[in-house]
């Protein structure tokens, strides 16, 4: 499995998770059970195209983790291996894959955070427009 030793990569991911879930692996989007987003990264079902929360729950169940397991969700992040390097809504990623991102030796937290938000999360909350 791909892991990272780069504290800046870890900080970028944790910062995103803080914004999404206050780093609470058992939290539902909007604090409402069965809303589309769930967990650390707010894995979201957007049927019929994207079913990330369903995939998360299925993987956690298959691997013996409760849905609110932070460890299980981090393992799923690696297993899921989502990275959208050419997301049309954002500049092309400097990284081809999630593994490349995790193996980055960059110390530029600003750029790493943008990369994770844009190419894993697939969002921009406007915080990088300043």
Catalytic positions are 20
Let me know the angle formed at the C-alpha of 80 by 76 and 86, rounded to the nearest 5 degrees: 140
CA dihedral 71, 7, 121, 60 (to 10 degrees): -10
Name the 3-class secondary structure at 43: strand
What is the sign, positive or negative, of the torsion defined by CA atoms of 84, 28, 127, 108? negative
Radius of gyration for the alpha carbons in the chain, expressed in angstroms and rounded: 14
How many Å apart are CA 33 and CA 13, to the nearest integer?
24
Give the tokens for residue 30: 């909007």
- Whether the CB-CB separation of 41 and 21 falls below 8 Å is answered with yes
């Amino acid at each position: 499995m791909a892991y990272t030793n780069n504290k800046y990569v870890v900080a970028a991911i944790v910062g995103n998770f803080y914004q999404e879930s206050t780093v609470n692996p058992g939290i539902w989007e909007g604090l409402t059970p069965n809303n589309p987003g769930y967990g650390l990264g707010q894995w979201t079902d957007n049927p019929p195209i994207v079913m990330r929360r369903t995939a998360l729950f299925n993987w956690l169940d298959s691997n013996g983790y409760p849905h609110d397991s932070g460890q299980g969700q981090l393992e799923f992040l690696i297993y899921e291996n989502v990275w959208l390097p050419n997301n049309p809504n954002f500049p092309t990623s400097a990284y081809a894959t999630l593994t490349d991102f995790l193996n980055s030796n960059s110390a530029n937290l600003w750029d790493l955070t943008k990369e994770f938000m844009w190419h894993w999360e697939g969002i921009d909350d406007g915080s990088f427009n300043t």
